[in-house]
Chain A
Amino acid sequence: MLTKEIAEYLGGAVSGLTVGTNLWAMPVPETALSDIQVSVVEYAGRAPLRAMGPSLGDPVAEIARFQVAVIGQLSQYLETRQLIEEIRQALDQLSETTLSGTRYLLVRELQPPFYQPPGEIGDPNAQHHFSVNFEALRERN
């Protein structure tokens, strides 16, 4: 599963991130305790690249899209911004890598990290939200 593969990769590539503690392959659960939280979630991707092949055969590559979001407390703007930058640099242009048995041809960012003010997204806890969107060309697993 893409989110799990990416989260596990980030857990090894970015200092201080641990899957299940402050790094999640899903929206951050309400039970999370750490001040800064990172989530990896999928959203609508694109049609796969295909070659000729049998019915139900695997594509040349799937084109999935996912978002990594960093959520930090009100006093942690700079730390939150720094962490999203480290995540961006760990993922953008990641090529020819196998993550948990799935071959990734390329991961590329779709735009630089962006800030979503708490009021804009209706966060009652007034936390800082930074996100960055990526596109992954990967083989079907």
Chain B
Amino acid sequence: MAIIVSTNAMIKVGGTDFSDHCLEVRVNDGQETREVSAMGDTSKRFRAGLGNASVEATFWSDVSSTTGISQTLGSLVGVTSTGFEVLVRKVNTARGSSNPEFQLTAIIDGDVNILDEKIGDVSQLKVRFLPYSSFLTVTTGT
């Protein structure tokens, strides 16, 4: 895939496609590091630690129905949560090697600003998902 201007990314949360409310989505696929420097070294050395993935997204707020993004995210906050599916693609077309799908079995990390009202503005809702269990990159299937 060539360099493109992003206009049509996909994000599904808990099985619902909220792409048409999303104005920004970010998938972070990184890892922690552990220092293994020892006597005699002249510079610090590290080893790979555990993976540290996350998904961050910003949506236009919509409280118009119980299945809207605001209520959906609010309902996913809970101490007994065992994770829900978050799917992200760069382009909302079939997934493949040039359009991988990032799959996170996720819980919500930190604040979800269910309401964030400023006079005269269309309010936005920001959320960060962290892995409850798996983080996968899928390039096959649909």
Chain A residues engaging chain B, CB cutoff 8 angstroms: 49-55, 57, 60-61, 105-106, 108, 137
A52 touches B20 (CB 8 A): yes
Q: Is the interface of A mostly helix, strand, loop or mixed?
A: loop
Known: A49-B60, A51-B23, A54-B92. A108 touches B120 (CB 8 A): yes
Q: How far is the CA of A106 from the CA of B23 in the complex (A)?
A: 20
Q: How far is the CA of A61 from the CA of B92 in the complex (A)?
A: 21
Q: Is the interface of B mostly helix, strand, loop or mixed?
A: mixed
A51 touches B60 (CB 8 A): yes
A52 touches B9 (CB 8 A): yes
Contacts of B3 in A (CB 8 A): none
Contacts of B59 in A (CB 8 A): 51
B120 touches A53 (CB 8 A): no
Known: A61-B122, A105-B122. A53 touches B60 (CB 8 A): no
**Option from B92, B120, B122 in Cβ contact (under 8 Å) with A52:** B92
A52 touches B60 (CB 8 A): no
Q: How far is the CA of A108 from the CA of B118 in the complex (A)?
A: 14
Contacts of A105 in B (CB 8 A): 122
- Scan residues 61-102 of chain B and give those whose CB is less than 8 A from a CB of chain A: 92
B122 touches A137 (CB 8 A): yes
Complex A-B: 29 CB contacts under 8 Å: A50-B23, A51-B19, A51-B20, A51-B21, A51-B22, A51-B23, A51-B59, A51-B60, A52-B7, A52-B10, A52-B19, A52-B20, A52-B22, A52-B23, A52-B25, A52-B92, A53-B7, A53-B8, A53-B19, A53-B20, A54-B8, A54-B92, A55-B7, A55-B8, A60-B60, A60-B122, A61-B122, A106-B120, A108-B120
